[in-house]
Amino acid sequence: MPPRPHPARDLREACVDQALAIIGDVGLEALSIREVARRLGVSHQAPYKHFPSSDHLLAEVVRRTYRQFSEHLEARPRSSHPGEDLKSMGEAYLRFAIDHPLHYRLLFGTPLPDPAAHPEMMAEARRAFQLLHEAIGHLKPPTSETDRQLDALFVWATVHGLATILQTAALDQIGLDKVVLAEALPHALHRIGKALAP
């Protein structure tokens, strides 16, 4: 009788897993509560017993994706040299964006559910930014907290902007050399290094 110790929890988990699978396979556009239910062989209303609305399902999916993202950044090759460590992080950031384009777009390229209504989702986002913040903290000589935040924002913006731009299919049409695309991140990291130098 107890193959399902927590059947309810199970369905909730299964919904999130299926949603992630759909997004990874086909993209966010194809995600719908009914499709999730269909794949799980339950009625189209069953997921509503665990998520008040489709936004709540999406928020949970986003939360987990942020967590995966943070874990990916934390698993980067570490370096005791702060400058090298920051580069390593930039590379890990962009690698995630390239290896999981659909998941990355989920985080940064689509309208998210209202953040105020889903604080748990934002807690995970904050954690990712915290990682960058720390790496910057090691890099710079002791300075004001404001300055550190400003530099963290600067670095984040550059890497994130690059990831977004490189992912826009638009890019093929914009007429950039292949060399440029390949060199974009190293070059940007080099520029960042120069910008942050004492």
Partner DNA sequence: TCCTTCAAGTAGACACTGTCAACATATGAA
Partner DNA sequence: TTCATATGTTGACAGTGTCTACTTGAAGGA
Distance between CA atoms of residues 48 and 50, nearest Å: 5
160 touches its own copies (CB under 8 A): yes
Window contacting DNA (CB under 7 A); options: 46-54, 82-90, 123-131, 184-192: 46-54
| Minimum gap (Å) between residue 104 Cβ and its own copies | 13
> Binding to its own copies by residue 141, rule CB under 8 A?
no
SS (H, E, C) 116-175: HHCHHHHHHHHHHHHHHHHHHHHHCCCCCHHHHHHHHHHHHHHHHHHHHHHHCCHHHHHC
Segment lying near its own copies (by CB under 8 A), choices 43-51, 85-93, 135-143, 176-184: 176-184
> CB of 68 within 8 A of CB of 103?
yes
CB of 18 to DNA, least distance (A): 12
Residue carrying structure tokens 């994706």: 65
Answer for which of 125, 131, 135, 139 binds its own copies (CB under 8 A) is 125
Which region among 11-19, 74-82, 84-92, 112-120 touches its own copies (by CB under 8 A)? Answer: 112-120
115: left (phi over 0), alpha (psi -120 to 50) or beta: alpha
Task: Please tell me the count of residues contacting its own copies according to CB under 8 A.
Answer: 54
